Amino acid sequence: MTTDERGVSIWGLGRALPERVLTNRELETMVDTSDEWIKTRTGISERRIADEHTATSDLCYEASVQALERAAVPAESVELIIVATVTPDMVFPSTASLLQDRLGAEGAAAFDLQVGCTGFLYALAVAEQFVRSSAYETVLVIAGDLLSRITDWEDRATCVLFGDAAGAAVLRPSGGDDGILASYLGNDGSGAHHLQMPAGGSRHPARMETVKKRMHYLKMNGREVFKFAVKAMGDSAAEAVRRAGLTFDDIDCYIPHQANIRIIDASAKRLGIPRERVYVNIDRYGNTSGATVPVALTEAWEDGIVGPGDNVLAVTFGAGLGWAATVIHLTEELRHL
Ligand code: UT7
């Protein structure tokens, strides 16, 4: 950090989850699977699924209003909105544009960032630069996805994994030079084909044929992503902690991407972080894409598991294939509820 830069803190956090709960038992009636298989292979018991009237921007709006209220920041003072999503309301305009209008954040810059499960940490790193450089005072960062909309409900290998959610954070300058301490982002595009939605873009525009071939659904090579994840999480966490000038003993709470309990446990073991410092909610929500980290961080803060003074390490992986790890020192600006 140079002398004319300043610290950047999270001032408010919010989350939104649809009411409808889809249990493993219900999935047993939809595809050839079992509660036992899903629990032991993934750690998921249930997930939330949005109703047909809800779009991604609706969950993003709910999470944003909560985060802004908690930060005691009026929507009119937001200068930039970044929405991380792979399930925007529509191809364009951006979901951030729709959100900006609904929030009444008049004149704020707004754009979407499309990087999948690493989306929240990517968006946080981008937003941080604007605040650190004094370009903006207040930035709203949201990750929201309705993966249920691009899930193939006939594919048992993927449909048991995902859920819908959104999480939001308000970023503003911190009193001191702490706050977001370090990030490490990266990507290996040679593995892009392991996790994708093939149609709907310029390569395969929507046609009768693409619909018939089920190309508008998420396709995943789970084993390959699994292998990538264990290594990427370990390596990126180590680099982010090193950049923050800390050791893993300094981490009060580890928030891993909630994709698979086996990946979470393997990464915690590799990093030497004891289980009681690992935040897990995959059992209740499944993999909610970019929303896993902000939803988990919000819950951990609401439950008093983390608060001002704590160091949080968040680590994610996903489509790209990419990774992102961030170390955040929670400051006094994130007030207790
Ligand atoms: O946010 C990033 C997104 N992606 C991920 O994080 C995914 C990472 N990968 C994973 O989490 C795991 O690879 C999965 C949970 C997707 C799959 O677990 P796995 O232990 O890698 O299973 P597998 O793909 O090797 O499949 C083992 C068996 C297969 O049967 P056979 O060939 O051994 O007879 C599958 O057909 O399990 C079968 N299987 C299922 N059985 C019951 C696959 N899905 C299911 C299912 N229910 N839902």
What CATH number is associated with residue 258?
3.40.47.10
Domain co-membership, 135 together with 76? yes
Q: What is the pLDDT of residue 186?
A: 97
Q: What's the pLDDT at 5?
A: 72
Please give the distance, rounded to the nearest whole angstrom, from the Cα atom of residue 156 to the centre of ligand 1: 9
Residues 20 and 145 reside in one and the same domain:
yes
Question: For ligand 1, atom 43, which residue shows the shortest CA distance?
Answer: 157
CB of residue 222 inside a 6 A radius of ligand 1: yes
Q: Does residue 1 lie in a domain region?
A: no
Domain boundary (173, 207, 223) is at 173
Whether the CB-CB separation of 186 and 323 falls below 8 Å is answered with: yes
Last residue of a domain, one of 119, 153, 173: 173
Q: Do you find a cis peptide bond into 113, omega within 30 degrees of 0?
A: no
Residues 6+ apart with CB under 8 A from 15: 63, 66, 165, 166, 167, 168, 291, 294, 295, 298, 299
Both 245 and 277 in one domain: the answer is yes
In a domain, 2, yes or no: no
Same domain, 190 and 147: no
Domain that holds residue 221: 180-329
For the CA of 157, the closest atom of ligand 1 is 44
Active site residue 204: no
In a domain, 337, yes or no: no
Do 189 and 164 reside in the same domain of the chain?
no
Q: Assess whether 187 and 283 both reside in one domain.
A: yes
Q: How far is the CA of 234 from the centre of ligand 1 (A)?
A: 22
CA of 42 to the centre of ligand 1 (A): 8
What phi, psi does 38 have (nearest 5°)? -65, -45
Same structural domain, 164 and 31? yes
- Residue 35 sits in the same domain as residue 167: yes
Confidence (pLDDT) at 4: 61
Ligand 1 touching residue 42 (CB < 6 A): yes
- How far apart, in whole angstroms, are the C-alpha atoms of residue 263 and residue 233? 9
Residues 102, 187, single domain; the answer is no
33 lines ligand 1 (CB under 6 A): yes
> Is 17 inside any structural domain?
yes
Q: How many CB atoms lie within 10 A of CB 176?
A: 12
Tokens of 50: 């949005």
pLDDT tens across the length of the chain (337 residues): 555 678 999 999 999 999 999 999 999 999 999 999 999 999 999 999 999 999 999 999 999 999 999 999 999 999 999 999 999 999 999 999 999 999 999 999 999 999 999 999 999 999 999 999 999 999 999 999 999 999 999 999 999 999 999 999 999 999 776 899 999 999 999 999 999 999 999 999 999 999 999 999 999 999 999 999 999 999 999 999 999 999 999 999 999 999 999 999 999 999 999 999 999 999 999 999 999 999 999 999 999 999 999 999 999 999 999 999 999 999 988 976 6
Q: Is residue 60 among the annotated active site residues?
A: no
Any atom of ligand 1 within 6 Å of the Cβ of 226: yes
Same domain for 22 and 166, yes or no, is: yes
The token duo for 326 is 């961030």
CB 16 within 8 A of CB 166: yes
- The helix/strand/coil state of 18 is coil
